[in-house]
Structure 1
Amino acid sequence: MPLGIRIFLVYVLFVGLTGYFVLSTVMEEIRPGVRQSTEETLVDTANLLAEILRDDFKAGTLSENRWPELLKAYGERQPAATIWGLPKNQVNHRIYVTDAEGKVVLDSSGLAVGQDYSRWNDVYLTLRGQYGARSSRSVADDPNSSVMHVGAPIRDNGRIIGVVTVAKPNSSLQPYVDRTERRLLWYGAGLIGLGLLFGALLSWWLSAALRRLTGYAQAVSEGRRAELPHYRGGELEQLATAVEHMRTQLEGKAYVERYVHTLTHELKSPLAAIRGAAELLQSDMPGEQRARFVSNIDSESARMQHLIERLLNLAQVEQRHGLEEREAVPLAELANQVLDSQKARIEGKGLQVEQRIDPGLKLSGEAFLLRQALGNLLENALDFTPAGGVLRLSASRAGDQLRFSLFNQAEPIPDYALARLTERFYSLPRPDSGRKSTGLGLNFVEEVVQLHGGQMQIGNVEGGVEVTLRFPA
């Protein structure tokens, strides 16, 4: 299972459990919280009524005054209020008054006058100077029919002479409880959803960062050119830096070992020729032979110098992972510079040069490397073009690519050699001299092209050979 999915599943488990416990705890506290707030209001109301009704209760005129009519009118009121988006169209308080023996002397519902309520806690405890409250079901089997009752004492010079009880059914509070629970569930679900989305994005970002670093390590292990992923601080940046440092150390060691072997191998032949000529020159010989051996020493020394210079140029390019600078390079001007540098050879062989590049066509890249690459291409083409042959340079833009082509009239390249032309130290004999080159020129060109994000292709076409370079436009 991918690391990102595992991280996300752990995050989902953590957020899910946390959300469940938090929501369940809060949900369990909603109903008691609402009832406690309501009970506190009932306490205030009961005590207020106890003071209002005290004088009439002492005089024994509660039932004779307008209180029964007032309480009845109160029960019939329709507030037409909207509380938290919920309509309230009736009052829910029931108010009754009991005497010192617990008998009901006044009831807003008119149902319990004369009944003995002395055994109910709201009356029983209040008459004894304690806080009297109870919650009783009006229907024994229905838990939703419970009603809260809160009593307050009616005092006469400190003596309790009666009790005022204010009652409120819990069912009147249920719509507010339900609404609060629904909103809490929606908000909780939304927060959990946002948390999971954040976790998914975090897991995706971490997985993507690790995939980029893994891709870079795989590309390096396969010998492909790759750019080191960039991270802004943190452990990922430290990891990327450590991987790059390790790559540099390992690649540098292997690179030096490989180049020592190849350089040693390639220098064996010219060194042997120089040593042999030097040994022969130590003996007496005709001047003509001596001049020939001196010429051999000179040519082999030049060959060694050329090989070393080519290796150094190739090493500089291979060790780079990106362009040091990027500018708009006019291709026509670049081609003219390369042609001018080989003007003596071109005129000496009487070649026909066709330069078909639009002066306004430009390539984004490093001018110095591009000039070296085109110079190597042209030098290679001149080696195989017969006297009086044709050289053709052209370029065009097609969609998101810029295509550069160099055609030279020549014999077809053998099929067995086509796939190896850019291989290091691989070279075909030159038609004029029969000798091979260093085999580094086309390899250098390919490295430069890849450094610019392009591709190189060499193939036989009608009448000769064509090298095509494709670059991102």
Structure 2
Amino acid sequence: MPLGLRIFLAYFLFVGLTGYFVLSTVMDEIRPGVRQSTEETLVDTANLLAEILRDDLKNGSLAQSHLPELLKAYGARSPQADIWGVRKNAVNHRIYVTDARGIVLLDSAGSAVGQDYSRWNDVYLTLQGKYGARSSRESADDPDSSVMYVGAPIRDGEKIIGVVSVSKPNRTLQPYIERSQRRLAWLGGGLIVLGLLVGGLLSWWLSGALRRLTRYAQAVSEGQRAELPHYRGGEMAQLADAVERMRVQLEGKAYVERYVHTLTHELKSPLAAIRGAAELLEGEMPTEQRLRFAGNITSESRRLQQLVERLLNLAQVEQRQGLEANEPVVLRELVAELLQGNLARLESLQVDNAVPPEAVVDGEAFLLRQTLGNLLENALDFTPAGGTLRFGAERAGKSWRLTLFNQGQAIPDFALPRLTERFYSLPRPGSGRKSTGLGLNFVAEVAALHGGSLHVGNVEGGVEASLLLPAH
């Protein structure tokens, strides 16, 4: 299972379970919370009525007062109130008054006058000077039919002469409870979904960052050129830097070993030629032979120097993972500079710079100059006197394809797939000597560094090298 998916599942379980428990706990607290607030209001209402009823109860004129009519009128009212989206069309308080013995003297419902309520907790506890409250069901089989009752003492000085009780059915609170629960469910659900979305995005980002770093490591392990992923600080940036340092150290060691081996192999031939010529020069010989062997030493020494220089240039390119500079380069001007620097070798050839002025590529000018120089030198070695050299360029999508045609013999089929192989070279037509075999390998490396490619093949009348580079 991918790491990002494992992280998301763990995050999902944590956020989901935490959200569920928190939400369910809060949902369970809504009902008692609403009822507690309602009970607090009933307490205030009962105590207010106790003060209003005190004088009439003390004087024994409660039944003859206007209070029965007021309570009856109160019970018949229709408020038509819209309370936070809940419609209220009737009043729900029931009010009754008992004397000091618990006998009902006044009842807003008109059904309990004369009954003994002294055993109900709201009356019983209040008459004892305690807080009197109870919750009773109107129907024993219906848990939603419970009614809250709160009593308040009616006092004559320090003496309790009666009790006034105020009640409210819990069913009238249910719409507010359900409304709060619905809103909380939507809000809680939305927060959980948002949390999971954030967790998913975090897991996706972390997985993507790890995938980029993994692809980079795989590309490096396969010998491919890849760009190190960039991260803005944090542990991922530190991990990327550590991987890059490890790559440099490991590749450096392997690279040195490989090049020491190949360089040793390639130096054997010119060193053997120099040593043989030097041994022969130690003895007596005609001047003509001495000059010939001395010339061999000079040419082989020059070959050694060229081999070392090209190996160093190739090593610098192969070790790089990206361009140090990326600027627009006008190909026609670059070709013109190269042709101007090789006028001596071009005197006997027909040269044509057919690169259009609008052919501009993005790259590192110094490397591109070395690349075209190697292509030109290779073409000069295989072009006979009076032959044709022609530079051209054409647009290929988002790239420019630079071509160099040289008139000459076709490349043998067996050599075509090996032309960019390091140290592989074909004999030159005039001298039969081979080059270092590093020129086209260098060109291919520079092309890959620029995100392009090199292709060399036979065409009608000669050979064409095609270099694909990104357009500006």
Q: How far apart are the structure 1 equivalents of 2:54 and 2:160?
A: 11
* Partner AA of 1:388 in structure 2: G
TM-score by length of 2: 0.98
What is residue 192 of structure 1 aligned with on the other side?
192
Q: Deviations over 1:246-291 (max 9, x none)?
A: 1111111111111111111111000000000000001001111111
- Alignment partner for residue 379 of structure 1, among 377, 380, 390? 377
Q: How far apart are the structure 1 equivalents of 2:113 and 2:328?
A: 103
Cα distance, 1:109 vs. partner?
1.1
What is residue 418 of structure 2 aligned with on the other side?
420
* Partner AA of 2:468 in structure 1: R
Instruction: State yes or no: 1:357 paired with 2:329.
Output: no
What is residue 341 of structure 1 aligned with on the other side?
341
Instruction: State yes or no: 1:183 paired with 2:183.
Output: yes
Cα distance, 1:386 vs. partner?
2.0
What is residue 81 of structure 1 aligned with on the other side?
81
What is residue 330 of structure 1 aligned with on the other side?
330
Cα distance, 1:126 vs. partner?
0.7
Cα distance, 1:351 vs. partner?
1.8
- What secondary structure is seen at the aligned counterpart in 2 of 1:419? helix
* Partner AA of 1:433 in structure 2: S
Q: How far apart are the structure 1 equivalents of 2:363 and 2:188?
A: 55
Question: What does 1:3-402 align with in structure 2 at a 5 Å threshold?
Answer: 3-347=3-347, 350-402=348-400
* Partner AA of 2:98 in structure 1: T
- Alignment partner for residue 452 of structure 2, among 448, 451, 454? 454
- What secondary structure is seen at the aligned counterpart in 2 of 1:229? coil
* Partner AA of 1:71 in structure 2: L
Cα distance, 1:208 vs. partner?
0.6
Q: Deviations over 1:68-105 (max 9, x none)?
A: 11111111212222222222222111111111111111
Q: How far apart are the structure 1 equivalents of 2:337 and 2:393?
A: 16
Q: How far apart are the structure 2 equivalents of 1:295 and 1:64?
A: 146
* Partner AA of 2:144 in structure 1: N
Cα distance, 1:361 vs. partner?
2.3
Instruction: State yes or no: 1:443 paired with 2:451.
Output: no
Task: Single out whichever of 350-359 and 364-373 deviates more from structure 2.
Answer: 350-359
- What secondary structure is seen at the aligned counterpart in 2 of 1:61? coil
* Partner AA of 1:452 in structure 2: H
Q: Deviations over 1:328-377 (max 9, x none)?
A: 11110001111112221111xx2222211112321111111100000000
Cα distance, 1:173 vs. partner?
0.6
> What is the percent sequence identity of the aligned residues?
75
Cα distance, 1:447 vs. partner?
1.1
Q: Deviations over 1:396-445 (max 9, x none)?
A: 22331221111112222222221111111111111111111101001111
Q: How far apart are the structure 2 equivalents of 1:402 and 1:165?
A: 96
Contact 2:359 2:400 in 1 (8 A): no
**Matched length:** 471
* Partner AA of 1:321 in structure 2: Q
Q: How far apart are the structure 2 equivalents of 1:64 and 1:134?
A: 29
Q: How far apart are the structure 2 equivalents of 1:416 and 1:182?
A: 80
* Partner AA of 2:429 in structure 1: P
Q: Deviations over 1:122-168 (max 9, x none)?
A: 11111111111011110111111110000000011211111000000
Cα distance, 1:472 vs. partner?
2.1
- What secondary structure is seen at the aligned counterpart in 1 of 2:415? helix
Q: How far apart are the structure 2 equivalents of 1:104 and 1:406?
A: 117
What is residue 461 of structure 2 aligned with on the other side?
463
Q: How far apart are the structure 2 equivalents of 1:427 and 1:114?
A: 125
Q: How far apart are the structure 2 equivalents of 1:426 and 1:242?
A: 37
Q: How far apart are the structure 1 equivalents of 2:318 and 2:308?
A: 15
* Partner AA of 1:275 in structure 2: R
Please list every run of at least 4 consecutive aligned residues from structure 1 whose deviation after the TM superposition is greater than 3 angstroms.
none
Q: Which runs of 5+ in 1 are unaligned?
A: none
Cα distance, 1:378 vs. partner?
0.7
- RMSD over aligned Cα, in angstroms? 1.1
* Partner AA of 2:392 in structure 1: S
Q: How far apart are the structure 1 equivalents of 2:143 and 2:448?
A: 80
* Partner AA of 1:155 in structure 2: R
- What secondary structure is seen at the aligned counterpart in 2 of 1:62? coil
* Partner AA of 1:406 in structure 2: L
Q: How far apart are the structure 2 equivalents of 1:139 and 1:18?
A: 38
Q: How far apart are the structure 2 equivalents of 1:190 and 1:268?
A: 76
- What secondary structure is seen at the aligned counterpart in 2 of 1:415? coil
Contact 2:382 2:408 in 1 (8 A): yes
